[in-house]
Amino acid sequence: MFSPLILITAVINGLLIGAVYALVALGLTLIYGVLHIINFAHGALLSAALFAAFMAYQKLGIDPYLATFLIAPSFFVLGYALQRFIIGPASHGDDRNMLLVTLGLAVLIENALLYAFRADTRTIDLAYSFKTIDVGFTFLSLPRVISFIAAFVVASVLWLVMTVTDTGKAIRAVAKEKLGAELAGIDVAHVYAITFGLGTACVAIAACLLVPTYYVNPSAGNAFILIAFTIVVLGGMGSVPGALIGGLAIGVVESLSGFFLGESLGQVGIFLIFIVVLLVRPRGLFGASA
Amino acid sequence: MSERKMPLSRRRFLAATALGAASAASGSLAMPALLRAQGAGVKLGLLHPVTGALSYSGQQGRIGATMAVDEINAAGGIKALGGAKIEPLLGDAQSTPDGGTAEVEKMNAAGVPCIVGGYASSICLAVSQAAARYDLPYVVDVGVADSIVSRGLKNTFRFGPGFGVISKTALDNLTIINDQAGKPAKTVIIVHEDSLFGSGLAKLLNAQLPPKGFTILETIPHPTPMRDFNNVVLKIKAQNPDIVIPANYYNEYVLFARTMREQHVRPKGIYSVLGGAASSYKFVRQFPEAAKYIMDCNHWFNPKSAKAQELKKKVEANGQFFTYELYMNYSVVLLVADAIERAASVDRAKIIAALESSSFSGHVMPYGPTKFVNGQNQGAAPLNTQVLDNDIKAILPPEFAEAKPVFPMPA
Amino acid sequence: MRGYAAIVVVVALLAAVPLVVHSNVLLNFLVVTLMIALAGQGWNIIGGYGGQYSFGHAAFFGTGAYVTAILQMRYGVNAWLGCAAGIAAGGVVGAIIGGLAFRAGLRTSYFALVTLAFAEVLRIVASVVPITGAGVGILIKLDLRAQSFQFQSRTAFYLVILSLVAAALVIAQKLEHSRFGTWLVAVRENEDAALALGVDATRVKLGAMVISAAITAAAGCFYAQYFLFIDAPIAYGAWISIEALLTPIIGGVGTVFGAVVGALVVKSLGEGAKLMTGDVPGLDLMIYGAMLVLVVAFAPRGLVGAFADARARLMRRLASARKSVVEVTRG
């Protein structure tokens, strides 16, 4: 029924959307890898970043791609503050409490957006929003191709930061052995906050890249949380290359299972992978052993 | 926003409820005294999902309903009750059936003689059965599931059309449009969201399209929210149907239409049924290129009605969008006010009787005078519209048409 | 014995409410609150006593609801039998999910994620397969007679849910004072140590999971009978997973009354927030989210725990005051 060309197109579609998922998952995996918490506020932060990008365009006329350089640092600061002054202190160091605090923050942020911006969906129509690249058998959306490249760039930069810089080394030290790192003089609370900040900055970048082709409303980010979790688990919690490859892989899986099973049932493909990975190899493709 | 200027604030309403509950508990007769103290107004329960997933639609519905209330009060209130003003009690269904049920209880305790609203079928179902316990009349604004009016609940009325009528009208009109153009279309692909509304519609279409001579190549369900439509469009492109029938909510419709445009997929017609954005001014304004020539069979106001046009101007002057939730709720409130006038009473049974015998034409919908049989307004039907010249024009039925259908879509 | 006496008192007080209050607003509020408390008490068994935080208890709630609805509407089974079957089905699903998760040795975040994933899989499947009505959902026929587990009066529903909650309270009480309960708590506190002491941790957790699932499934069966309409997002949606874990955590994890206290507090808070914020959408839920953060920050053992702490501190202060008085008089 479906020619090979169509399947190839489906795979390409999967890779392109997978890159977006990877960008969202990068922040989440970093936060998980170091703080060992599932950040339930990630989706709400994505929605908030979408609004930030939208507002930057609407009120200040800044193109979303350029706005990234403004919004990502601001969200870094936001993330740092959230972890340092709210999540960290409120959790009293208990992993389970952190789940609840991030859950509470998620509800708070999403409804703050609802309160401030109302419920109607906003979109931006940029000159290049509909531009496509003609590859013969299909058209590739230009903004999507840009986010695909950006995913690799961001992942590489993040990986470099983690391996080469002192901050990155400190983060990895704390992730591996918190007590030892503390004894070695590392300010753990500060490192936790930096990590959360980096994770939030990543999600802000994802938002800016998403805004040209997606819509903005207070619950828009929620659509990406579960799939981001899946990618984090598949790629290995805390692994940057894992999030990138996992994101692309999940994108392709979603695309193909949606294609053959229907878009509704096809979603189970993602969760079944999620469950299988958790049951069989919880550390994922590239994660450290539990 | 207009919410803050509401005559009976939620706080006062709840305080009244608490007092009412307390007095009911103590068995005293303080209730009527309370009503008198608030001024001889006529309460009306306006129940909409203003928070949660459906908040946009709920808020639009509330705006329409309160505009009608303001209009009635400005014109002298309910004359049969000595010019009594309508006091709206605003309820938030929170986009869930339990939210709606809780609001019904509060409104009942506050002594409302009637409730309007609901919007989503699942909420309408819960509200109608909760209100039925108290024989409290309830008029549905939008909710299209046929089950809402087929449970034998005497208190429930629906002003707008249900699924069955909508899909029949949609198919009849599609056949007419196709015939008028010389029958260029045979094959169809349906793209629908996978909950009550989309699935219910797809089921009916699947049963009714083949007898009309159409072949359904594929029925594609998708979840809400849906992040990416590239594969859906890929399937459409691969099978090249003459007509694509989308039935989904605004956000997904926007993504779908955009993707169709990106992939240069141009079927002979995009014929939406209850499309989320196909007959939305917001969509047309924001994506004129992607919206061109899209047809919809949906709730639509009567374009030949001066009152409707006037309302549209007023709403747009306020910077809001003239959406179906708004004008349907507007019409429903006017309908209820008329029933209360004719009943000359706030007695619930009398209002139900007045609704049953209602023949109201003062609304802005293309339904003719209301006539309720088993709670369903017989004249209720959707209209066909098409996006032409950056505007949405009614194209069928002929008595309401503002333009002729353009089909097939020009290349 | 003292524990059971407390249960009897609380249940009796709650049962007396309809005698005093005739407001259906309040009764409806209490019915929904108790239903959430029941779901939460289920969660409490595996989460509170067992220390395994599940983020997918919707899987059991939804199974109870759907089995009840499907048996009635597609097979004409009596509503009460349908509910019993729903509870059993919930337990079976609990056994499956628990079996898979615990045998794979999943803990904490991994366990939370896998339960979340199972709930999502069930939701997606339920929205697609014909037997659940797929997207359209299932509407239970309106039939206000006792034999159909539907009642004209809200009081009747209230008494039913109260009985179910009472049963759940008794189960928790029994658990606390049984050997099984001790093993469960040992596993929660330090699984490795418990294993070293010879506790079959996997079997214990699995048993707790089955009980937990059955209780939450009962809440789902009740939902179906009370609201008469379910579809995939209602039955298996994240909302109930969140409510089920929120209420015992706020009220006090691992305590008998935690879920009930938590449900009352959380629901009242929701109403209170709505009252304060009027009609502006979003504000009340903002307060809700903020409250969650605050409770975790300042009362991590929940309200029952905080109450116990306060009481303990008071006792200590009284004891030391008594001691100094004795010393002074002796002195």
Give percent above pLDDT 90 in chain A. Answer: 50
Read off the pLDDT of residues B146-202 as tens digits, 9 standing for 90 and up.
899 999 999 999 999 998 899 899 999 999 999 999 999 999 999 999 888 888 889
Chains contacting C (3+ CB pairs below 8 angstroms)? A, B
pLDDT at C1: 61
B170 to B164, B272, B299: CA distances (angstroms): 10, 9, 11
| Least Cα separation, residue C28 to chain B (angstroms) | 7
**For testing contact with chain B, the best of C125, C161, C279, C285 (most B CBs within 10 A):** C279
pLDDT of residue C282 exceeding 80: no
- pLDDT-based confidence at C22, cuts 50/70/90? confident
Query: Which CATH number does the domain housing residue C181 bear?
Result: 1.10.3470
Q: Does A258 contact B at CB distance below 8 Å?
A: yes
pLDDT of residue B15 exceeding 60: no
Contacts of B361 (CB under 8 A, 6+ apart): B368, B369, B370
pLDDT of residue B32 exceeding 60: no
Read off the pLDDT of residues C218-253 as tens digits, 9 standing for 90 and up.
999 999 999 999 999 999 998 899 899 888 988 888
pLDDT of residue B9 exceeding 70: no
Q: Does B227 contact A at CB distance below 8 Å?
A: yes
Q: Chain C contacts of A34, Cβ < 8 Å? A: none
CB B211, CB B241: distance < 8 Å: no
Least confident of A239-243, B28-32, B353-357, C60-64: B28-32
User: Is residue C303 a part of any domain in this protein?
Assistant: no
Q: What is the mean pLDDT of chain C?
A: 90
User: Is residue C7 a part of any domain in this protein?
Assistant: yes
| Least Cα separation, residue A159 to chain C (angstroms) | 24
For the purposes of burial, counting CB atoms within 10 Å of the CB of A165, is it exposed (0-12), middle (13-18) or buried (19 or more)? exposed
* Nearest residue on chain A to C111, alpha-carbon basis: A278
Residue A130 or C68, more confident:
C68
Query: Considering the domain A4-280 in this protein, what is its CATH number?
Result: 1.10.3470
pLDDT at B336: 96
pTM listed for this prediction: 0.88
- pLDDT-based confidence at B2, cuts 50/70/90? very low
The count of structural domains within chain C is 1
pLDDT at A288: 67
pLDDT of residue A261 exceeding 90: no
- Within the 156-215 window of chain B, which residues sit less than 8 Å (CB to CB) from chain A? 194
pLDDT at B27: 35
The structural domains of chain A, with segments of one domain joined by +, span 4-280
CB-CB under 8 Å, C100 with A274: no
pLDDT of residue B45 exceeding 90: yes
User: Is residue C94 a part of any domain in this protein?
Assistant: yes
User: Is residue C302 a part of any domain in this protein?
Assistant: no
- pLDDT-based confidence at B34, cuts 50/70/90? very low
CB-CB under 8 Å, B153 with C142: yes
> Do you find a cis peptide bond into B408, omega within 30 degrees of 0?
yes
- Provide residues of C within 8 Å CB-CB of chain B: 20-26, 28-29, 32, 124, 127-128, 134-137, 139, 142, 152, 227-229, 231-234, 239, 274-276, 278-282, 284-285
Give percent above pLDDT 70 in chain C. Answer: 98
Q: Chain C contacts of B144, Cβ < 8 Å? A: none
DSSP 3-state of C181: helix
Residue range of the domain that includes C206: 2-257
pLDDT at B103: 94
> What amino acid occupies position C292?
L
SS (H, E, C) B189-209: EEEEECCHHHHHHHHHHHHHC
pLDDT at A289: 57
Read off the pLDDT of residues A49-96 as tens digits, 9 standing for 90 and up.
999 999 999 999 999 999 999 999 999 999 999 999 999 888 877 777
Chains contacting A (3+ CB pairs below 8 angstroms)? B, C
pLDDT of residue B28 exceeding 90: no
DSSP 3-state of B388: strand
| Separation CA A49–CA A220 (nearest Å) | 11
CB A208, CB A30: distance < 8 Å: no
Q: Residue range B259-274: average pLDDT?
A: 91
pLDDT of residue C53 exceeding 60: yes
- Find the distance separating the first CA and the last CA of chain B, reported in whole Å: 44
**For testing contact with chain B, the best of C29, C129, C136, C243 (most B CBs within 10 A):** C136
pLDDT of residue B12 exceeding 50: no
pLDDT of residue C331 exceeding 60: no
Q: Residue range C131-135: average pLDDT?
A: 87
pLDDT at B38: 44
- Within the 330-389 window of chain B, which residues sit less than 8 Å (CB to CB) from chain A? none
- How many helices (H) and strands (E) in chain C? 14, 2
| Separation CA A91–CA A93 (nearest Å) | 5
Q: Residue range B288-306: average pLDDT?
A: 92
pLDDT of residue A27 exceeding 70: yes
- pLDDT-based confidence at C24, cuts 50/70/90? confident
Domains of chain B and any CATH numbers: 2-160+304-377 (3.40.50.2300), 164-298+383-400 (3.40.50.2300)
Q: Chain C contacts of B55, Cβ < 8 Å? A: 281
